[in-house]
Amino acid sequence: AAWYIFSSLGFYPVTAASGQYVLGIPLWDKATIKLSSGQSLTVLATPNAPQQMFVNAITYNDEPVSTTFIKHQQLLSGGTLSFELGIVPHPHRYTADQLPYSLTKP
């Protein structure tokens, strides 16, 4: 099912019409998606082991992702979405503009 594919890639469209994908943790070390534009989106997760249950950092095309979501338009342009995983949680405090639509709108 589509929900499983999205979730295993590390992002999921909680509110489909918002154009945002909430970020999670990828199941795979590396996955490449061929986009209809001819571009490719590569998702990396390192180190990806059972004890690595927390996200330390996320980058998209080597730029830090400071939000808890990524936009559909970004993903359509292709590139690399990298998840750095760890064994210890790093709690963050997010502002309303860093949270997805599903957590900020009634």
Cβ 20 vs Cβ 99: under 8 Å: no
**Structural domain of residue 82, as residue ranges?**
2-104
Structural domains of the chain, count = 1
Rounded CA-CA distance 16/56 in Å is 26
Q: Which of 61, 56, 62 is nearest to 23 (CA)?
A: 56
Above 90 in pLDDT, residue 81? yes
Burial group, residue 85, by CB count within 10 angstroms (0-12, 13-18, 19+) = buried
Q: 74 pLDDT band (50/70/90 cuts)?
A: very high
Question: Mean pLDDT over residues 23-45, rounded?
Answer: 95
Above 60 in pLDDT, residue 106? no
Question: Mean pLDDT over residues 23-29, rounded?
Answer: 94
Domain of residue 63, CATH code: 3.30.2080.10
Rounded CA-CA distance 51/35 in Å is 32
pLDDT given for residue 79 in this prediction: 97
pTM score, two decimals?
0.87
Quick one: CA torsion of 8, 38, 67, 1, rounded to 10 degrees? -30
Burial group, residue 104, by CB count within 10 angstroms (0-12, 13-18, 19+) = exposed
Of 36-40, 50-54, 102-106, which gets the smallest average pLDDT?
Answer: 102-106
If you count them, how many residues does the chain have? 106
